[in-house]
């Protein structure tokens, strides 16, 4: 497929391009598409398991579609390195919009040990942006540092909470709250909303707090309006700094020699060599090489 | 503090060394300690939020102490980059063993944007190993790809599940099950145990399934016995391969120039340059440098 086909919104071309992004073979294509991006609003939706993120994303899509906008959804599951694909396949089939031509849904699971899912996801948003979608939503399954990183790459980060979850889940929230542009208390018809609001007020977060009941659509139009009000340009440099670093990291990792790694691991496991010395030598060789080139 | 002080089990020296490990300034110390490690059994305990991991770790500690063994506990929270310290502080105070001189508890939160928590945690296990602890338990809060990585670095990986959790949590399990040496169904006095057992049987995982009720200690001695039966040498080379790669990755990341990153991010945010080209140029310069040195 060509960049022109992707830009024209051709579904088959887009799906093939998305597969190339996932297998990290789309560098040239993305470089060609980059000048034609920057129009879509990229929204990350993350939060605790069971918070109703999928339902909320479906409802946001419904409101955006009613306003005549097209929507791309990327469902990301960093915690399922092996079987995530199947689960996210279910996610797609369960969506109310999977037969709407104005909605494109794509799942992404961890693409293997090299990491870089945040980068791959950001590339995918760029692809959907270039394909002309007005709103691109990145929805994460699960919760963890990866989700924080993925959320940081969206222009607007929405963190979804629910009243009355256990202490463990409350603990998990902590890292996410600081990256939120908007906090959503979903399932706001449940007990414990007031308490959660008070807890959030104690945290003195900069983000506004909105309440929704995703299952019946309450508060979703207001949420979309609030998303649109976030000043996305303010943190653009910060986002690119993070994203470029991740991109370089991904590429540098590819330079590590597997042969060297196998040999060194065997030696260290037999305790013939000390791992810190082994790594030091490897990196010094690299530093020497860098000096030589200047 | 010196390597000898750490090895003697001096608490103050150990705490200071742990801080150095956390701030990634302990390379020389760890290299010196490495020949004196390999004696401790390193166990990773991970699983879904609310599964009762902390209680289970407390109970494992109790059984080990009763057998006359010393225990080091490292509580890791990769999902709380900002406020994790405080939460894990609570974790330490809540432990039944925090005044037992045969138990050392240390918390670790994400050490900032450069990642590498798995490496830092592995270094911490090495430190406690060198300090003479018989059993070193790495307990993760939260769940995600980071937890999988942290768990992979332990000699024995225990994954804790509970009956009757929501679909989201079931989805999260998926990635963790494959790295488990032992699967534990905790809260096994609850409804839904049979169903969870059947689900696990369908998955055809290699790991044995044990049942515990951590709150009253049921099954915990059996769990510790099962942990001791895992043939830890079998995967030693694989673990070191993963760990060395992570160590190299951490060091390579340190070579990225912040000045370059700031400048490039500003240019890309203004859309003066294309990020793919920018990264390509950076990495090619590095590759050239490498070639020159050969």
B153-187 burial, b at 16+ Cβ within 10 Å, e below that, comes to bbbbbbbbbbbebeebbebbbbbbbbbbbbbbbbb
Residue A294 pLDDT exceeds 50: no
pLDDT category of residue A85 using cuts at 50, 70 and 90: very low
Query: What per-residue confidence (pLDDT) applies to A18?
Result: 93
Characterize B42-64 residue by residue with b for buried, 16 or more Cβ atoms within 10 angstroms of its Cβ, and e for exposed.
Answer: bbbbbbbbbbbbbbbbbbbbbbb
Mean pLDDT of A284-291: 60
The residue among A113 and B282 whose pLDDT is bigger is B282
Instruction: Tell me which residue of B165, B205, B141, B118 sits closest to A83, measured CA to CA.
Output: B205
DSSP B153-165: TSSEEEEEE-TT-
**Are A141 and B168 in contact (CB < 8 Å)?**
yes
Which of A79, A174, A240 shows the shortest C-beta gap to B80? Answer: A174
Q: Supply angle C-alpha A166, B42, B70, rounded to 5.
A: 90
- Is B153 found in the same domain as B96? yes
Question: Average pLDDT in the A257-280 region?
Answer: 90
Phi/psi at A79 (nearest 5 deg)? -90, 0
Q: What is the pLDDT of residue A197?
A: 85
pLDDT band at B67, cuts 50/70/90? Answer: very high
Read off the pLDDT of each residue in B88-95 and give the average, rounded to a whole number: 60
Same domain, A164 and A205: yes
Look at residue A52 and tell me if it is in a domain: yes
Report yes or no: B185 and B161 within 8 Å, Cβ to Cβ: yes
Angle made by CA atoms A134, A136, A142, in degrees to the nearest 5: 165
Instruction: Indicate the average pLDDT of chain B.
Output: 83
- Residue percentage of chain A with pLDDT more than 90: 44
Which of A131-140, A217-226, B175-184 is least confident?
A: B175-184
Is B185 in the same domain as B277?
Answer: no
C-alpha separations of B8 from A92, B3, B82, B104, B130 in Å: 57, 9, 34, 14, 9
Q: Residue A78 is nearest to which of B115, B145, B280, comparing CB atoms?
A: B145
Q: Which residues pair with A6 in a beta bridge?
A: none
Choice between A162 and B219, residue whose per-residue pLDDT is larger? B219
ipTM computed for the complex: 0.76
CA distance B229 to B231: 6
pLDDT at A229: 95
Longest dimension (CA), chain B: 66
B279–chain A Cβ distance below 8 A for any pair: yes
Q: Is the pLDDT of residue A107 over 90?
A: no
Task: Tell me the nearest-neighbour CA distance from A103 into chain B, angstroms.
Answer: 24
Residue B195 sits in the same domain as residue B262? no
Query: How wide is the angle at C-alpha B123 spanned by C-alphas B117 and B129, nearest 5°?
Result: 140
Report how many Cβ contacts below 8 Å link chain A to chain B: 263
Is B30 within a domain?
yes
Whether residue B21 sits in one domain with residue B104: yes
Percent of chain B having pLDDT more than 90? 44
Phi, psi (degrees; rounded to nearest 5) at A111: -95, 35
Neighbours of B284 (CB within 10 A): 11
Task: Report the predicted TM-score, pTM, of the whole model to 2 decimal places.
Answer: 0.68
In a domain, B216, yes or no: yes
What is the per-residue pLDDT for B288? 58
- pLDDT tens-digit readout, B129-144: 999 999 999 998 766 6
Token pair 């138990």 is found at B103
* Structure confidence at residue A94 (pLDDT): 61
- A271 in the same domain as A191: no
pLDDT at B86: 43
List the structure tokens of A5: 């086909």
Instruction: Judge: B142–A50 Cβ closer than 8 Å, yes or no.
Output: no
What separation in angstroms does the CA of B162 have from each of B137, B155, B170, B209? 20, 23, 10, 12
| Domain end (from B235, B264, B281) | B235
Q: The dihedral of CA A245, A176, B90, B222: what is its sign? A: negative
Report d(CA B172, CA B147) in Å as an integer: 11
pLDDT given for residue A289 in this prediction: 55
Task: Give the contacts of B263 (CB within 8 A, at least 6 positions apart).
Answer: none
φ, ψ at A78 (rounded to 5°): -70, -15
* A32 belongs to a structural domain: no
Q: Residue A133's pLDDT is what? A: 97
CA distance B242 to chain A (A): 8
Question: Looking at chain A from residue 67 to 86, which residues have their Cβ under 8 Å from any Cβ of chain B?
Answer: 77-84
Q: Which domain holds residue B278?
A: 256-292
Residue A96 DSSP label = T
In this complex, do A144 and B141 lie within 8 Å of one another by their Cβ atoms? no
- Number of domains within chain B: 2
**pLDDT average, residue stretch A104-110:** 81
Establish if A239 belongs to a structural domain. Answer: no
Q: Which two tokens stand for residue A77?
A: 């599951």
Residue A260 and residue A133 share a domain: no
Residue B85 has a pLDDT of: 44
- In this structure, the answer to whether residues B83 and B203 fall within a common structural domain is yes
Q: Is the pLDDT confidence value at A91 over 70?
A: no
Most confident segment among A120-134, B68-82, B198-212, B280-294:
A120-134
Mean pLDDT value across residues B160-185: 72
Question: What tens digit of pLDDT does each residue of A15-41 get?
Answer: 999 999 988 888 889 999 999 999 999
> Does residue A84 belong to any structural domain of this protein?
yes
Say if residue A128 is in the same domain as residue A265. no
Interchain contact A205–B (C-beta under 8 A)? no
Contacts of A31 in chain B (CB under 8 A): 274, 276-277
Best to test chain B binding among A54, A155, A265, A294 (most B CBs inside 10 Å):
A265
> Quick one: which H or E segment has residue A194?
helix A193-202
Residues A186 and A274 reside in one and the same domain: no
Question: Residue B39 phi/psi, 5° resolution?
Answer: -95, -35
B240 found inside a domain: no
Query: Would you place residue B112 in the very low, low, confident or very high pLDDT band (cuts 50, 70, 90)?
Result: very low
Work out the average pLDDT over A129-145.
86
In DSSP notation, B188-250 reads TTSTTHHHHHHHHHHHT-SS-EEE-BTTTTBTHHHHHHHHHHS-GGGGHHHHHHHHHHHHHHH
Question: Which residue from B194, B175, B180 is spatially nearest to B226, judged by alpha carbons?
Answer: B180
Spatial strand order in the sheet of B41-47: B103-109, B71-77, B135-140, B41-47, B156-161, B182-185, B209-211
Residue A271, helix vs strand vs coil:
coil
**A190, part of any domain:** yes
* pLDDT computed for residue A233 by the predictor: 85
- Which tokens belong to A6? 């992707």
Query: Can you give the CATH number for the domain in which B215 is found?
Result: 3.40.50.300
Instruction: Tell me: do A64 and A199 sit in the same domain.
Output: yes
Whether residues A78 and A110 fall in one domain: yes
């Amino acid at each position: 497929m060509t960049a022109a086909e992707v830009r024209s919104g051709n579904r088959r071309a887009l799906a093939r391009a998305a597969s190339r992004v996932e297998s990290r073979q789309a560098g040239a294509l993305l470089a060609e598409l980059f000048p034609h991006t920057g129009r879509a609003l990229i929204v990350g939706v993350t939060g605790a398991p069971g918070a109703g993120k999928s339902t909320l994303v479906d409802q946001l899509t419904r409101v955006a579609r009613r306003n005549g906008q097209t929507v791309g959804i990327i469902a990301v599951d960093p915690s399922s390195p092996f079987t995530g694909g199947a689960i996210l396949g279910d996610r797609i089939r369960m969506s109310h919009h999977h037969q709407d031509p104005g909605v494109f849904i794509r799942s992404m699971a961890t693409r293997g040990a090299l990491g870089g899912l945040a980068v791959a996801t950001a590339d995918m948003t760029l692809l959907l942006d270039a394909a002309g979608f007005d709103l691109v939503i990145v929805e994460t399954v699960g919760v963890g540092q990866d989700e924080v990183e993925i959320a940081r790459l969206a222009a607007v980060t929405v963190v979804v909470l629910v009243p009355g979850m256990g202490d463990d889940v409350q603990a998990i929230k902590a890292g996410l709250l600081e990256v939120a542009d908007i906090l959503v208390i979903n399932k706001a018809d449940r007990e414990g909303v007031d308490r959660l609001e008070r807890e959030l007020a104690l945290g003195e977060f900069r983000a506004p707090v909105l309440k929704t009941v995703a299952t019946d659509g309450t508060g979703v139009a207001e949420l979309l309006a609030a998303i649109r009000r976030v000043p996305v340009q303010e943190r653009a440099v910060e986002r690119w700094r993070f994203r470029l670093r991740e991109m370089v990291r991904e590429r540098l990792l590819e330079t590590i020699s597997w042969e060297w790694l196998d040999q060194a691991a065997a030696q260290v496991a037999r305790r013939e060599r000390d791992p810190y010395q082994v790594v030091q030598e490897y990196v010094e060789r690299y530093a020497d090489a860098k000096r030589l080139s200047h």
